[in-house]
Amino acid sequence: MHFSDVFSLSFRTVRGNKLRTGITVAIIAFGIMALVGIITAIKAMNQKLTESFSTMGASGFSIRYKERNIRFGGGGSETSVTRKGARREKKSNLDKLVTEEEAAAFVNRYQFGATVGVSVLANRNAIVNSGSRKTSPNVFVFGADDNYLTLNGFNLLAGRNFSRQDIRSAGNFCLLGYDVAKKLFKTGPEKAVNAVVRINSIPYRVIGVLASRGSSFGFSRDNVVVAPYKNIEQNFGGKASYVIGVMASDLSQVENAMGEAEGIFRAVRKLNTTEESNFVLDRADSVAEKAMNSLGFLTISATVIGLITLIGAAIGLMNIMLVSVTERTKEVGLIKAIGGKSKVVRSQFLIEAIIISVLGAIFGIVLGIGVGNLFSFFLNTGFVVPWDWIFYGIIICTVVGLLAGLYPALKAGKLNPIEALRYE
């Protein structure tokens, strides 16, 4: 018999046992669905993280008193990891905060030819009101200079950006985030321009409205108010660390820009050559990379879940194939009696097992991509297809089918044709 004949016979047999085949395919499909679904969801999260944290692109970096604490699950709020292999620092170690004077001194001394900006988080639960309308107490208030929009990926929907005179005068001017403007001005966010709003009861004139950037992991990036950082220092005060953002003009200049920035800021903080830097330089693209690396445990979990399910499916498939050998003993005897070789019988049972496994893989991949992209829909990212895991899934299921069908195929191939024909 030719291979096409053996394959056709195997396919007809698989199709003829719909219930048995369906149950086995469903078990295999569940394992692959869990694996591909979680991988697809992780890829969607990676897309969102890249969008959320790499606002300055690969040519940007920031200077902070410590690294941003980006972890998923577990961990307290009292500590944060600084550098790889370094000790943990307590948040109470306030002597390392970047002050307004240090940030301003850096901006004046840094002459590399890059875009430099200063910002500070003044309040994370402010209330903004206009007349009888007011926001929930969850508005983020930032102090910044005229380069804040460029460095953080914002565009203007209406109005204008800060001028250097606005920053120097420390006047009560502000830029409203899209969500804040939409909440306070029902006739349209752009109507907020030139209006007076109150931030925690302090009056501010709106000079611009920021275009929407959407949400990230359920948190709106448009629920913000930005005011001149000198004004923030006067009206809000408090112990907050400034962040210095730098965007090099070219990707090839980033390393040189970071080297010069570190040297200048060490001088600003009056560190001698033997002292370790008490601040960090944080590349924009590395933040997303760190966040994505912290999702590694999800990939491991998905792989373990998928493999456990597939092991169970392989055992079930092998048992079903053994039952099939017993039920079709007469059929095997007839094939051998008319000249069929043991090799043909073994091939038929092996192909049947592989067909069932591959069908499970196909259904599981389709369901997994669908389930994973439900997550991407809620994150508002593009449609994700994990092509590498589609290939791996088919290969894994083919191997599972081959291993599960091997023993039943060998058993069928060893049947004596005379005894097989007499089997009741």
pLDDT per position as a tens digit, 318-373: 777 777 766 666 666 666 666 667 777 778 778 888 888 888 888 888 888 888 88
User: Do the beta carbons of residue 47 and residue 391 sit within 8 Å?
Assistant: no
Last residue of a domain, one of 284, 311, 343: 284
Most confident of 66-80, 194-208, 282-296: 194-208
Query: Tokens 């195929």, residue?
Result: 409
* Overall average pLDDT of the 200-221 stretch: 82
The verdict on 158 and 196 lying in the same domain is yes
The verdict on 268 and 318 lying in the same domain is no
Let me know if residue 370 belongs to a domain.
yes
Q: Tell me the one-letter amino acid at 397.
A: C
The verdict on 233 and 362 lying in the same domain is no
Q: Which domain holds residue 174?
A: 59-284
Percent of the chain, pLDDT > 90? 22
Last residue of a domain, one of 265, 284, 303: 284
**pLDDT greater than 60 at residue 91:** no
pLDDT, tens digit, for every residue of 5-28?
667 767 777 777 777 778 778 878
The verdict on 412 and 333 lying in the same domain is yes
CA distance linking residue 26 with residue 18, whole number of Å: 12
Let me know if residue 74 belongs to a domain.
yes
Q: What local confidence, expressed as pLDDT, does residue 34 receive? A: 78
CA distance linking residue 228 with residue 142, whole number of Å: 8
Query: Tokens 């990230």, residue?
Result: 216
The verdict on 233 and 169 lying in the same domain is yes
CA distance linking residue 226 with residue 207, whole number of Å: 11
Q: Which residues contact 98 (CB under 8 A, 6 or more apart)?
A: 63, 64, 65, 241, 242, 243, 244, 279
> Of 61-70, 83-92, 105-114, which gets the smallest average pLDDT?
83-92
Q: Which of 44, 43, 42, 56 is nearest to 287 (CA)?
A: 56
Find residue 60's DSSP bridge partners.
247
The verdict on 174 and 256 lying in the same domain is yes
User: Do the beta carbons of residue 265 and residue 279 sit within 8 Å?
Assistant: yes
**pLDDT greater than 80 at residue 391:** yes
Let me know if residue 120 belongs to a domain.
yes
Per-residue confidence at 78, pLDDT binned at 50, 70, 90? very low
pLDDT, tens digit, for every residue of 219-252?
677 899 999 998 988 888 777 889 999 988 777 7
Let me know if residue 36 belongs to a domain.
yes
Q: What is the mean pLDDT of the chain?
A: 78
CA distance linking residue 38 with residue 36, whole number of Å: 6
* Overall average pLDDT of the 53-82 stretch: 57
Let me know if residue 412 belongs to a domain.
yes
